[in-house]
Structure 1
Amino acid sequence: MRAALATKDITISELEGKLTLSILDRILFDSGKAIIKPEGEEVLRKIATVLDQFPGRQIHVTGHTDNVPIRTSQFPSNWELSAARALAAVRFLVEQAGTDPKRLAAVANGEFQPIADNATAEGRASNRRIAIVVLPEVFRLPQPPAEPPPAAPEPVEESPGPAAEPDAPDAP
């Protein structure tokens, strides 16, 4: 898998059971755009074959940007750009690569989770990326057995009231 995908534009890492494929934006998108380029489609098809190796696992596709404001009519901020890019990748994986949509979620982080220093051009380029994260299997805690319904209350026997005194006069 690493040999087929890992390049200077794609990194693969595993941490705490999460497999992360990080793809720099330049391979997927033109600057300031969210339309996947033909070479990006090829990369996403290869990634889909990797995702198929983890059936049933949830996958987050996360868009990231650098901190340079975009402010276009289509993308008022980096939030919108990162969201549109994540959604474009999700749609491609579902519609073109056949990935089960129930497994996918699009996430937008904008500029707020950089992996490099935005003060340099190289750092900004590293921050403009899509991360495809295969989440670890979720183990659910065993549920305690269902409690039986409460038993019907036992009938209460009525006890006679205080015994009336036989010689007591009737009250007026």
Structure 2
Amino acid sequence: MSARQTICCLVCLSMLTGCGRVVFRPDQQTAQAISLSPEQQQTLAQQQQQFQNRAAELDRDNQELESLLAQSRQESQLLREQVSATQSQLRATTDQLAGLQQERAQLQSKTQAMMASVKTPGPAGIRANNTLLRPLSVGSLPGVDVRQDGDTIRISIPADEVFQPGAAQLKPGGDQLLMRVAADVIAAYPEQVIGIEGHTDSAPPASPQFPTSHHLSVAQATTAYDLLTRGANVPAQQVFVIGHGGNHPRMSNATDAGRQANRRIEVVVYPEVVRRR
């Protein structure tokens, strides 16, 4: 046993036994052997084992802390790299957005320049028919209604006065009524575009010849067109035909009077002019 170990043993022994001071004189030539009881030796062994266990535990804790520190450094480096990549992407996106904004401004400038270069004075507007309104004698006929609708003039003729019920065949005297209206319109507006519109009520046609109200309205308008172009010598290029069915009622279809008013032929005078050849 070395001198240092001997001193440690004496110090521990004095603390355990509670004896007086232990004096060690290294200059003594003969060192007396130290005698420990089995209990003391066991106690020293237990303390030494506890110190070793504690040292091993501290070593494990130190190793775990070093591992955590290394992991923390690795995560910190990864975060720094992610932040750097995000900043790079943000700068690239910002540059791209600035480029798009510049391209948009250039495109807007070019568009405005093109619009300014192609802008020319527009043609003279079509005058509404209120400036061309002329007296029509057919307005005094029973059931015939003449009214201004925006820039058009509409002459409404009861279909019940012209056609057989639910059919496109003319009633006796119906052709004369249409011819009189056509003659009056052509005399007042010899060059205007004329539309012939067929209108019905909401009830479906009873005849299998006309499966829908649109078929019936087109057939009635076509009959009027044939009469005007052939009998009244109205130029075909000046007239067109529309069948509205029951889509544009003038009155409610809840009553007989309303349904009767909705069944009509309308001769519409437009502001456009068709030059005859």
* TM-score for both structures, normalised by structure 1: 0.75
Give the AA of the match of 1:23: I
Helix, strand or coil for the counterpart of 1:137?
strand
In the alignment, what sits opposite 2:244? Answer: 109
In the alignment, what sits opposite 1:30? Answer: 164
Within the alignment, does 1:137 sit opposite 2:272 as a pair? Answer: yes
Helix, strand or coil for the counterpart of 1:12?
strand
In the TM superposition, what is the alpha-carbon distance from 1:64 to its structure 2 partner?
0.3
In the alignment, what sits opposite 1:124? Answer: 259
Deviations 1:2-37 (A, max 9, x none): 444433411001132311100011110111110122
The answer (yes or no) to whether the contact 1:36–1:89 under 8 Å persists in 2 is no
Between the two proteins, the alignment pairs up a number of residues equal to 138
In the alignment, what sits opposite 1:78? Answer: 213
In the TM superposition, what is the alpha-carbon distance from 1:101 to its structure 2 partner?
0.7
Give the AA of the match of 2:224: A
The answer (yes or no) to whether the contact 1:21–1:132 under 8 Å persists in 2 is yes
Counterparts in 2 of 1:153-168, with a 5 A limit? none
Helix, strand or coil for the counterpart of 2:146?
strand
Give the AA of the match of 1:82: S
The answer (yes or no) to whether the contact 1:5–1:46 under 8 Å persists in 2 is no
Q: How far apart in 1 are the matches of 2:249 and 2:165? A: 18
In the alignment, what sits opposite 2:183? Answer: 49
The answer (yes or no) to whether the contact 2:166–2:206 under 8 Å persists in 1 is no
Q: How far apart in 1 are the matches of 2:158 and 2:246? A: 14
In the alignment, what sits opposite 1:63? Answer: 198
The answer (yes or no) to whether the contact 1:71–1:77 under 8 Å persists in 2 is no
Helix, strand or coil for the counterpart of 1:38?
coil
In the TM superposition, what is the alpha-carbon distance from 1:99 to its structure 2 partner?
0.6
In the TM superposition, what is the alpha-carbon distance from 1:71 to its structure 2 partner?
4.8
The answer (yes or no) to whether the contact 1:114–1:127 under 8 Å persists in 2 is yes
Q: How far apart in 1 are the matches of 2:183 and 2:197? A: 19
Q: Which moved more, 1:37-46 or 1:17-26?
A: 37-46
Helix, strand or coil for the counterpart of 2:197?
strand
Higher helix share: 2
In the TM superposition, what is the alpha-carbon distance from 1:62 to its structure 2 partner?
0.3
In the TM superposition, what is the alpha-carbon distance from 1:135 to its structure 2 partner?
0.5
Q: How far apart in 2 are the matches of 1:20 and 1:106? A: 14
In the TM superposition, what is the alpha-carbon distance from 1:40 to its structure 2 partner?
1.3
Give the AA of the match of 2:248: Q
The answer (yes or no) to whether the contact 2:138–2:181 under 8 Å persists in 1 is no
In the TM superposition, what is the alpha-carbon distance from 1:38 to its structure 2 partner?
3.0
In the alignment, what sits opposite 1:20? Answer: 154
In the alignment, what sits opposite 1:145? Answer: none
- The higher radius of gyration belongs to 2
Within the alignment, does 1:11 sit opposite 2:137 as a pair? Answer: no
* TM-score for both structures, normalised by structure 2: 0.48
Q: What percent of counterpart residues are identical? A: 31
